[in-house]
Structure 1
Amino acid sequence: MSRSGTTTRDRARGAASSRDGAAPRPARRTGGAARARPRRRDTPRARRRRWFLHAGVAAAVLGLLAWLLLGSPVLAVHSVQVDGAATLTDAEVVEVAGIAEGTPLLRVDVDAARARVARLPQVASVEVTRGWPRSVVVTVVERMPVAVVDQAGTRSLVDADGVLFDTVTGDPPAGVVPLDVTSPGPDDRATRAALGALTALPDDVRASVAAASARTPEDVRLTLTDGTTVLWGSADDAGGKAAVLVALLGQLHAGALDPAGTIDVSAPSAVVLR
């Protein structure tokens, strides 16, 4: 054996290969490296299959969502909450709203419920909203009585807009003034003029008004609890008339002015006491 580690036969074979022009065959790798996987061909059939798969998943998700919103008890009405009711009870508002427990929230017709509650005479305005995930909220603003009118023995409360919205049999609420007008209602100018006078007064002064009347829109009169008559006149400059009247009453109570049975503030710049 040669010292180079090859035999005479090996050297002879290598020389023969060189003469024949053939490249030596690379050594075969026997260890470790994994063969690369062949790439899949993106055929139209494969693309259609993927599209149908994605479409099926999307349809399933949409179906589940639709069921949760429209048919599932998970997102259904569990309670109806009423906010703002004072003279009305929560039960009255809930009954009129007509929202059945168990109705899927998305199926609740909030506009129809709002219209039904708005028909209650005591309601000035109302909002109906969905309270996700399981409630409906009905927020009402009730009419505030300013005066009470008597029509053929029926006494009705009147709000600042002239709307007759409730009847009373006993004493009216505190601060509500008996009003004498021929045709009480929101379209009556005399009613609106008298109510404008009452609402222009501060609460403490209005509490000292025993009665109000308006035979015409230009002839509003107030009667105070001590018997003093206030000639208010028309609805013009209600704020100015109220400010003058408050100042005069303060001076009368302080003794700075002689007592007067009539205070005429129909022209605030030329007040007359007599």
Structure 2
Amino acid sequence: MTEPIPVLAPPTGAGHTSARSDSGPRPDTAGRPESTGRPDTSPYSRLPSNREIDKALRAARRERKRVERGEVRRFTKRSRRRRLAWLAAAGVVAALVLAVVLVAYSPLLALRHIQVVGTSRLDATTVEKKLSDQLGTPLPLLDQAGISSDLAAFPLIRSYTVESHPPDSIVVRVVERQPVGVIQRGGAFTLVDAAKVPISSSEKRPDGFPLIAAGGGAADVDADSGFAAAAGVLSALPPAVLAQVDTISAKTKDDVSFTLRGSGATVVWGSAEDSGLKAADLEALLKSAKGSSRYDVSSPHSVTTG
């Protein structure tokens, strides 16, 4: 057996304080425990209030939204640039269209001057006066049908073009019909072109044009007619030879013949086929066989004279 350890009382006297037998705090006069002076380290000693929790949550939500907006802007930066570029381009186009419309339909572009060019038989001033009903109309609103109707009053015009010259002018370029010969109708002589369109009429035969003695319509109406063949031959002749033709006749498309002025010589042409080659043969024969009364070029590879 072990001996019990004796408990010794603390010494008393000067310089020593008596020790308390209990280590707990002494109750104060109100019966509450005395403070020990040490901080309370318990995790539950300071819990946040509901107001503080709401404030922190709101701050967190704001921060999250800020970050999300930044990410969205970063990932959509290129598409936003493209959208801005398209919007800018559309705005420029819209502004240009609006400006063009405002200028085009304003009095600034009202027609004030008409010029007709390309006429030789026609009087350009007469044509300009015929078109004067278009004056005062803005250039984009010119009545093209009205212009066509006005020019149709001149049979000598085969075709035309209208050129706008802003701010207030147009130029009408006219292509006149070229007469190929004269046809006789009763006591009148009518100058016609290759389409058999009458150009002018007179009681006296016009000088410098052959008299066409052929029936039928033009080539666009009847390609096999005598008139179509005769007109085709006249169009193929060189100017020097054409000036010598007095009368041309054709009962069918295959028996074209004509007489020459002065000499009265006859040229047998045949059909209008190979007219270019036949014209070259005839031009050579008129130089090499002057004085002949008959030139047969109906077979261009075997021409004869007589």
Normalized against structure 2, the TM-score is what?
A: 0.62
Q: Which blocks of at least 5 consecutive residues in structure 2 are unaligned?
A: 1-92
Cα distance in 1 for residues equivalent to 2:273 and 2:242: 18
1:198 aligns with 2:234: yes
Cα distance in 2 for residues equivalent to 1:221 and 1:127: 38
The 5 A counterparts of 1:150-189 are 150-172=184-206, 174=208, 176-183=209-216, 185-186=218-219, 187-188=221-222, 189=225
Q: Which protein is bigger by CA-based radius of gyration?
A: 2
1:231 aligns with 2:265: no
1:133 aligns with 2:170: no
Cα distance in 1 for residues equivalent to 2:184 and 2:216: 10
Question: CA offsets per residue over residues 29-85 of structure 1, 9 Å max, x none?
Answer: xxxxxxxxxxxxxxxxxxxxxxxxxxxxx999977764542232x221111110111
**1:114–1:128 contact (8 Å) kept in structure 2:** no
Q: SS where residue 92 of structure 1 aligns? A: helix
- The answer to which structure, 1 or 2, has the higher relative contact order (CA under 8 A, 6+ apart) is 1
Q: SS where residue 162 of structure 1 aligns? A: coil
Q: SS where residue 216 of structure 2 aligns? A: coil
Question: What residue is the counterpart of 1:35 in the other structure?
Answer: none
**2:289–2:305 contact (8 Å) kept in structure 1:** no
Instruction: Decide which of 51, 66, 69 is 2:104's aligned counterpart.
Output: 69
Shift in Å, 1:155: 1.6
Shift in Å, 1:235: 1.0
Change (3 A) 1:215 1:71: same
Cα distance in 2 for residues equivalent to 1:239 and 1:59: 58
Cα distance in 1 for residues equivalent to 2:279 and 2:97: 64
Shift in Å, 1:116: 3.7
**1:164–1:185 contact (8 Å) kept in structure 2:** no
Q: SS where residue 155 of structure 1 aligns? A: strand
Cα distance in 1 for residues equivalent to 2:270 and 2:242: 17
Question: What residue is the counterpart of 1:270 in the other structure?
Answer: 302
Shift in Å, 1:94: 2.4
Cα distance in 2 for residues equivalent to 1:138 and 1:94: 9
Change (3 A) 1:260 1:60: closer
Shift in Å, 1:272: 2.3
The 5 A counterparts of 1:107-126 are 107-118=141-152, 120-126=154-160
Question: CA offsets per residue over residues 113-154 of structure 1, 9 Å max, x none?
Answer: 135424531111111122111111111100011101011223
Q: SS where residue 173 of structure 2 aligns? A: strand
Change (3 A) 1:251 1:61: closer
Instruction: Decide which of 188, 206, 209 is 2:245's aligned counterpart.
Output: 209
The residue type paired with residue 250 of structure 1 is K
Shift in Å, 1:203: 0.7
Cα distance in 2 for residues equivalent to 1:61 and 1:126: 32
Question: What residue is the counterpart of 2:255 in the other structure?
Answer: 219
Cα distance in 1 for residues equivalent to 2:100 and 2:235: 53
Change (3 A) 1:243 1:59: closer
Question: What residue is the counterpart of 1:246 in the other structure?
Answer: 283
Normalized against structure 1, the TM-score is what?
A: 0.68
Q: SS where residue 198 of structure 1 aligns? A: helix
Q: Which blocks of at least 5 consecutive residues in structure 1 are unaligned?
A: 1-57, 254-258
Cα distance in 2 for residues equivalent to 1:85 and 1:205: 26
Question: CA offsets per residue over residues 177-202 of structure 1, 9 Å max, x none?
Answer: 11111235443421111112112111
Q: How many residues align?
A: 213
RMSD of aligned C-alpha atoms?
A: 2.9
Mean Cα deviation higher: 234-243 or 186-195: 186-195
